Amino acid sequence: MRCVVSPLMMVRNVKSHLHLRHDVQFPARGRVVTISSGLARMAVPMRSAYVLSKYAVEGFCDVLRCSNLQVFKSTGVQIHRYEMRSWGVKVSIIEPGNYIAGTNIFTESLIQEHGRKMWEAMSEEVKADYGKDHFQARIDLMRQYSKAGNTDISPVINAFTEGLTQKYPQARYCPMDLYFKTRLFVATHLPEFVYEKLYIG
């Protein structure tokens, strides 16, 4: 199984539905609810592609909610400017914590296989820089991470439901355990050296 992490697919999907605000059945109302991650607001080692994609989702949704979104007609010439707030379109972001154990999308065997392919694809110079032992230690750490997290994904589903149905939906829903909430608070509100000292080492 190969998982493609791309915020561009999310952007295309959202833009393809914005025209529905003209629909007589849904006049000037609507919801945009996207899923991001708690890692969209704090960087962690060895997850650069994942963190990058989630930061992009957050940025797009924040702009969509608070500012103007330019949508081109099929001609590519005329531009309409949409104020999401003015049109009653509410935008929410779901920022889950660690639910790997509940989704089983990140398994030990998958990590080991990707690690093997990464090592084989490296140049000899890069292999010499990192060293086999250091690289394998990173792989083992990721394998341990795959066993962690919440097994019950209902908090994420509930957050989606609330984002779609509440009269006044939150800008962000954070279905995560106490450890993840504490870490997110430290990363967001305290100086960076505190976060790095506590969680990065």
Task: Give catalytic residues, as residue numbers.
Answer: 50
Is-contact 156 96, C-beta < 8 A?
yes
